[in-house]
Structure 1
Amino acid sequence: MPRAKPSASSTRGPLAERTNVSAPLDASSTIKSWLVPPKRAQCKRPSDMNEGGDRKRVKISSGENSSDGSDAYESDSDVEIHPVGSCHRRKSALWSLASQMHPVAGSQRPFLSTLPILQSFVSSNKSDVFRCQSVLYDSFLTPPYACSYSHSARSGGAPLLAVATEQGTIYIINSSKRQDWDPEPVHTTLQPHENGIFDIKWNSLDTLLATASGDRTTRISDLGTGHAIQTLRGHSSTIKCVSWDPSHRDLLAAGGRDGLICIWDLRVSENRTSQPVMSILAAHEDVGPNGKRKVSKGKNASIPRTVTGILYSDANPCQLISSGSSDGILRCWDLRVAKSKSAKVKEPACMSSSPLDPTAGQASRRPRGIISLVDGSGPTAGLIFALAADSRIYTYARDSLAAFGNSYTHENLQTNFYVKLAASPCGRWVATGGAGVSGSSFAFDVSNATRTSGPKQTGVELKGHSGDAGGVDWAPDMLATCWDDGMVRIWRADTETYRVCLVQSEEKRWDWCWASSL
């Protein structure tokens, strides 16, 4: 049986039966020149369109929902909101630093390192901390599992952050910088589930939120009304990841611990409940000599390999890229080519997969699964970054799914089922949470991700609270990290404060947290 995930004792107990549960920069103006986004491009969009699963605990489970050796890293499992008229981030103007040409393998001239900016990240213990209040009477705070900035925030708008918790609650937080004496702003609260939410995503108009939960449903919440307007069914186990189709506002996909990928069309529904219009069974099972995936049934059925990440391709919106829990092989699915499995549900065709597994690239190493998947932009457009169970971040080419020879890691980085990976809007940085005693998050400069030569660059460690750090996400001038003690912490680049914290560390540690690097 997998080891249970350590957590804050004040919040985990009451939910046991209901959850699844270099040198510093010279001036701050230099930082702002990297961080301030340009004026956004204008584009037109169509206007947007104006329940419950079984309770179960997936953190420690048995039977059909328990994990096998290949899945062993899993621990089992008032802000006013306005409709956003900005473009989707893939079509928006990016940060000024990302206006450079994106790197290609073997390029002669590397990008200037921005590691000094990451090293200057600080977080105030008073004005950069937000609390996730419990909805239960016998606990004060609840652990946040995932977070996501709106598309408007990632384009330089109001920094609205959606935080999903163990209790199935969503908090909408305005993470704008405030003074130390200012009270914590009131959060907008939604309650789409009564079980843990493991992934949360905004639609392209920032009017809807999709949530993937341990109750085996994906739900669509309307931010205008504050209610869940659709329940998407089709999975038989915990849903791990969800993604909106950037080219069509009514389409989205989700992957789960049952090894299934479901694609839904929100226009197809009956009494607010929708079944998938396409599904991919055993998406990351082994492929036999006949080219078909091995799907065992009945008494001989093996534990399914979890679908841990899904991305719609930037180059072709009809292609879906996925990762699994058993190895570092990515697979690409063509949503236009499908074979009928029944009268209603079709299965997309697998058009390509990674030629080699980077997680098994060293001698005597077994393959390790992927935990979280994100795509690059700007300087890293055309790349995919994957956090693996061996605590390394691997880089893949989006079109070929081939992995580059380098990876990113930190000596204190550990992973589990709850740790997420996020890429910054500028495309130069990625951040990840971390498990284990240290309770830290980590940030890396990935501008030169395709260069296999040159010095290896480690990341910076962001020490905030005790316990695990799971969900992370970026806005142009800030990084949000979720901690197991019920806190959400915002990190910002501030050279002057960072210098003072280094000189007066004993005094400043009561008021600030700051980055550390090897």
Structure 2
Amino acid sequence: MSSPCTTRSMLQEPTPDIFSSSPPMSSATTASRKPKRPPPITPKRFTRFFTPRNSKAEASRSSLLRAGRQLQDITRSGHNRSNVATRTTPRKTVNFADVENHVHTPSSSSRKRKNLYPSPETSPAQSSPSKRSRYVTPPPTFDVLEDEPEFEEPPVFPLPVRRLRTLGGASRTLQRSFGGILSVGRGFRRDHCTSWQDQTADFYSGTEDLHQLPQGAPPFCTATCNTNSLLAVGGEDGWIHLLDSEGDFSKAHVSWHAHTNAVMDMQFSSDDSYLAAGSGDQTAQIIDVRTQQTLSVLAKHRSSVKQVRFQPGDEKIVATSSRDGVVQIWDLRCKGGQMSSHSAWGSDAPYASVIRTLASAHAENTMPTYTGGASSLTRTTSTGKTETTSRRTDISVTALSFLPEGRQHLLLTASDASTCIKLWDIRGRYSLRGPAIPISTTQHPESHNRHRHFAINSLTLNGNASRIYALSKDNTVYAYSTSHLILGSARELSSTPASKPGHCGVDQPGLGPIYGFRHKNFHAGSFYVKASLRKAHGDKTELLAVGSTDGSPVLFPTDETFLKREARRHDDEAELPSIKPMRPFLSRSSSRFPDTIPIYEQGTALVRGHDAEVTAVSWAQNGSLISVSDDLRVRRWKEGSEARELRLGGESEGKRWMCGWAEMAAGFDDDE
């Protein structure tokens, strides 16, 4: 054990300075002080103290499968390139050099590195573990252009605009369910999802829809009841037959002999209690339908009665027109005197009294000049044209029609001299010394003025009385506008006139027709061809039916939406040179001038039902059509799917025997 002095002396001995350059003081000290060198770096010792990141990645790669290692090598280059530009951490280096002796760490030769795992060319080369790993970016596989490449595009030629095909009923129903014009942009503002063909295609007549009349008595007219399913048929022999449009059509319920000559025209009253019948025996009569008794006899005409009409709202007033050119207004409440006696009825008949007489209703205002012999006359009219005519100067008034209730005091008339319509006020007083002067007269169609005039067989008003349909003998149904009957301010057309007029005789001008209907199967070869209109009711649309000399009734849809659509299609086709335009609306006769108004041929013929001229047509209360013909047949045309079966069934097994159907264009019955 050492003494305290010795211990104190050892603590006070100064520490040798290893940085001093003086020689050592003793041999022991000199032996312990050897120059220190940096420790040799071997792979084993280096791995013990420091493991580079790349080595860790290699270690993790060793645990992956071959497919995983290849996928990792493929995606590593992109990951490294993305990190090079965004790295913000300062680089860390390992320096084992001494302060005095700057000894650099030996770098391993690239020939001694072994690529243990194969990698694609895009994988970066592994660096020495003593240095920071160096990232090698592979060269780009394509050239980077400073400007955008310019490609030569082939010229694009736009396709010609084609009109869309008319949609069928099912397609238009689907289109309207998506909003019509507001959504898809191809609908129509007022679209009932049907075409004009769909409104007429389902009419047919079977063997049970036929009534055969007696031989030698062809039917001339027909009329239907307003409140029930009965209808009346008048024949050449003066008999009237009542049939049922819903029951057994082959037998007549009641038949009676009403006139001594042909029954020319008939009409039921609004409650179907009375039947007015005009005849070729120069008289008309009012018949009680329940008892078939004559209540009033209208006998003051000098020729056959062409038409007879009840006044709407006041059926005690009746108007008749005759071949003598006179229109008579009758009051059934007033009894006529002995002057009204007729040879066919005797003096005991219940004659009615006349309250207005429109003499020479359609005579020309200027008196014509006649030249020639006794058998024929050459007439020079006010327009300068010469016409050959007989000595008979009476112009037959062939058609009558009252305006509906509210303006029932206004009467429309037409004649066999021209296609003009005259408007009368039956409340006024007309002179008996000369021709009666109407309130107004419509203009003739322009094609008639440049050729010749044609007669009008019948006048028909549509449901709201805005259109007047005149069946002309030039094989056309002309449509007139009621508001065009008088030009300018017309208090006569007001539903509430200010006062009752006094003397009438203004004859203001009115406009002519605004459009017309034609069909290849429609010809008005005689005065007996008439027209009738079915008013829209429930699911029944408004249709105009006309007879024809060709033996086929023709149906015309009157909805002007179809007409506007047809006009728009015609205009579109005229603007597109690539589409063949529609043929111009020319008259059927080569001697006539072209029409100056639109003429529509969108009608449907009811074929195979008759073998001779169809004279008169009428609409039953249930919506079926009644047609009479010179073949002594009365036909009932119903609506149903049987029409399509008759069109497609052919002549096999006699399914078409004694039947008729609506004739449609080829391809109409094809499924959509």
Do both proteins adopt the same fold according to a TM-score greater than 0.5, normalized to the shorter chain? Answer: yes
Structure 1 position 364, deviation (Å): 3.9
| Count of residue pairs the alignment pairs up | 386
User: 1:333 maps to which residue?
Assistant: 424
Q: Does 1:376 align with 2:462?
A: yes
User: 2:211 maps to which residue?
Assistant: 130
Structure 1 position 109, deviation (Å): 5.7
Query: 1:480 is paired with a residue of what secondary structure?
Result: strand
CA–CA distance in structure 1, aligned partners of residues 245 and 393 of structure 2: 41
CA–CA distance in structure 1, aligned partners of residues 224 and 300 of structure 2: 27
Pairing partner for 1:459 from 603, 617, 634: 603
Pairing partner for 2:203 from 121, 143, 149: 121
Pairing partner for 1:305 from 390, 395, 407: 395
CA contact (8 A) 2:360 2:435 kept: no
Q: Does 1:245 align with 2:311?
A: yes
Q: Relative to 1, partners in 2 of residues 1:173 and 1:328: Cα closer, same or farther, differing over 3 Å?
A: same
Q: Relative to 1, partners in 2 of residues 1:295 and 1:470: Cα closer, same or farther, differing over 3 Å?
A: farther
CA contact (8 A) 2:544 2:555 kept: yes
User: 2:553 maps to which residue?
Assistant: 441
- What are the superposed Cα offsets for residues 242-281 of structure 1, whole Å, 9 maximum, x if unpaired? 1100121211101111111011111112450124221111
Pairing partner for 2:230 from 160, 168, 172: 160
Pairing partner for 2:220 from 123, 145, 156: 145
User: 2:479 maps to which residue?
Assistant: 395
- What are the superposed Cα offsets for residues 342-389 of structure 1, whole Å, 9 maximum, x if unpaired? 9xxx997511111x212x4368432211111111105xx311101001
User: 1:478 maps to which residue?
Assistant: 624
- 2:531 is matched by which residue type in structure 1? L
Structure 1 position 224, deviation (Å): 2.1
CA–CA distance in structure 2, aligned partners of residues 319 and 108 of structure 1: 35
- What are the superposed Cα offsets for residues 431-481 of structure 1, whole Å, 9 maximum, x if unpaired? 11111xx31111111111885934534211112121111110012420000
CA–CA distance in structure 1, aligned partners of residues 244 and 400 of structure 2: 27
- What are the superposed Cα offsets for residues 56-112 of structure 1, whole Å, 9 maximum, x if unpaired? xxxxxxxxxxxxxxxxxxxxxxxxxxxxxxxxxxxxxxxxxxxxxxxxxxx986875
CA contact (8 A) 1:337 1:348 kept: no
CA–CA distance in structure 2, aligned partners of residues 363 and 384 of structure 1: 21
Q: Relative to 1, partners in 2 of residues 1:263 and 1:132: Cα closer, same or farther, differing over 3 Å?
A: same
Structure 1 position 336, deviation (Å): 1.6
Pairing partner for 2:648 from 503, 506, 509: 503
Q: How does 1:54-133 map to 2 (within 5 A)?
A: 113-125=195-207, 127-133=208-214
Q: Relative to 1, partners in 2 of residues 1:189 and 1:363: Cα closer, same or farther, differing over 3 Å?
A: closer
CA contact (8 A) 2:329 2:356 kept: yes
Pairing partner for 1:170 from 233, 240, 252: 240
CA–CA distance in structure 1, aligned partners of residues 529 and 189 of structure 2: 35
- What are the superposed Cα offsets for residues 278-320 of structure 1, whole Å, 9 maximum, x if unpaired? 11111111123xxxx8899xx9964311111111112511111
CA contact (8 A) 1:334 1:349 kept: no
Query: 1:172 is paired with a residue of what secondary structure?
Result: strand
Q: Relative to 1, partners in 2 of residues 1:318 and 1:119: Cα closer, same or farther, differing over 3 Å?
A: same
CA–CA distance in structure 2, aligned partners of residues 295 and 273 of structure 1: 39
Moved more, 198-207 or 220-229: 220-229
CA–CA distance in structure 2, aligned partners of residues 485 and 372 of structure 1: 22
User: 1:367 maps to which residue?
Assistant: 453
Query: 2:333 is paired with a residue of what secondary structure?
Result: coil
Q: Relative to 1, partners in 2 of residues 1:163 and 1:23: Cα closer, same or farther, differing over 3 Å?
A: farther
Pairing partner for 2:514 from 400, 405, 427: 405
Structure with higher helix content: 2
Query: 1:501 is paired with a residue of what secondary structure?
Result: helix
- 1:120 is matched by which residue type in structure 2? D
Q: Relative to 1, partners in 2 of residues 1:294 and 1:366: Cα closer, same or farther, differing over 3 Å?
A: closer
**CA RMSD, Structure 1 to Structure 2 (Å):** 2.9
Pairing partner for 2:262 from 192, 196, 209: 196
CA contact (8 A) 1:278 1:348 kept: no
Q: Relative to 1, partners in 2 of residues 1:294 and 1:474: Cα closer, same or farther, differing over 3 Å?
A: farther
Structure 1 position 341, deviation (Å): 3.2
- Structure 1: 5+ residue runs without aligned partners? 1-21, 31-106, 134-139, 153-157
Q: Does 1:286 align with 2:433?
A: no
CA contact (8 A) 2:332 2:353 kept: no
CA–CA distance in structure 2, aligned partners of residues 489 and 407 of structure 1: 27
CA contact (8 A) 1:198 1:211 kept: yes
User: 2:330 maps to which residue?
Assistant: 264
CA–CA distance in structure 1, aligned partners of residues 615 and 481 of structure 2: 26
Q: Does 1:217 align with 2:363?
A: no
CA–CA distance in structure 2, aligned partners of residues 280 and 362 of structure 1: 26
Pairing partner for 1:357 from 435, 444, 460: 444
Query: 2:312 is paired with a residue of what secondary structure?
Result: coil
- 1:194 is matched by which residue type in structure 2? T
Q: Does 1:205 align with 2:295?
A: no
- 2:444 is matched by which residue type in structure 1? D
Structure 1 position 24, deviation (Å): 8.1
Structure 1 position 428, deviation (Å): 2.0
CA–CA distance in structure 1, aligned partners of residues 251 and 168 of structure 2: 33
CA–CA distance in structure 1, aligned partners of residues 416 and 167 of structure 2: 39
- 2:603 is matched by which residue type in structure 1? G
Query: 1:267 is paired with a residue of what secondary structure?
Result: strand
Moved more, 416-425 or 360-369: 360-369
Query: 2:237 is paired with a residue of what secondary structure?
Result: coil
- 2:453 is matched by which residue type in structure 1? P
CA–CA distance in structure 1, aligned partners of residues 547 and 429 of structure 2: 37
- Structure 2: 5+ residue runs without aligned partners? 1-165, 174-187, 337-347, 378-390, 486-510, 571-599, 666-672
Larger radius of gyration, structure 1 or 2? Answer: 2
Query: 2:243 is paired with a residue of what secondary structure?
Result: strand
Q: Relative to 1, partners in 2 of residues 1:213 and 1:431: Cα closer, same or farther, differing over 3 Å?
A: same
Q: Relative to 1, partners in 2 of residues 1:347 and 1:233: Cα closer, same or farther, differing over 3 Å?
A: farther
CA contact (8 A) 2:448 2:454 kept: no
Q: Relative to 1, partners in 2 of residues 1:304 and 1:502: Cα closer, same or farther, differing over 3 Å?
A: same
CA–CA distance in structure 1, aligned partners of residues 298 and 473 of structure 2: 29
Query: 1:276 is paired with a residue of what secondary structure?
Result: strand
RCO comparison, higher one (Cα < 8 Å, 6+): 1
Query: 2:241 is paired with a residue of what secondary structure?
Result: strand
User: 2:176 maps to which residue?
Assistant: none
CA–CA distance in structure 2, aligned partners of residues 433 and 25 of structure 1: 29
CA contact (8 A) 1:121 1:493 kept: yes
- What are the superposed Cα offsets for residues 100-132 of structure 1, whole Å, 9 maximum, x if unpaired? xxxxxxx9868754332312210002x111122
User: 1:429 maps to which residue?
Assistant: 543
Q: Relative to 1, partners in 2 of residues 1:123 and 1:396: Cα closer, same or farther, differing over 3 Å?
A: same
Query: 2:643 is paired with a residue of what secondary structure?
Result: helix
User: 1:418 maps to which residue?
Assistant: 528
CA–CA distance in structure 2, aligned partners of residues 189 and 265 of structure 1: 28
- Please report the TM-score for the alignment, with normalisation by the length of structure 2: 0.54
